Amino acid sequence: MSAPTRTALVLGGLCADLETVRSYLPANYTAQQTPDGVLISGQDSHGWTLDGYVIPRLASGLIVAEEKQA
């Protein structure tokens, strides 16, 4: 059974454009531009988790993201 897909929306930041956000993501997460902004999605794998790695990693670059609840 695979892990559930998790999503987060980038709320802002100094350099929160799509290509910059993508450069912060591990291989198990992707980002795409939507009408609401940059949407991150993927599945947690081997410690590369949304709340434990992706969101804190983005914050290190002054990019704010928040998980979207289902």
Task: Please state the domain extents for the chain.
Answer: 5-68
The answer to whether the CB of 3 falls within 8 A of the CB of 41 is no
Question: pLDDT digits over 26-56, tens only?
Answer: 999 999 999 989 999 999 999 999 999 999 9
pTM above 0.85, yes or no: yes
Distances in Å between the alpha carbon of 50 and those of 23, 28, 54? 15, 10, 5
pLDDT of residue 1: 66
Fold classification of 5-68 (topology level): Alpha-Beta Plaits (3.30.70)
- Rounded average pLDDT over 9-27: 92
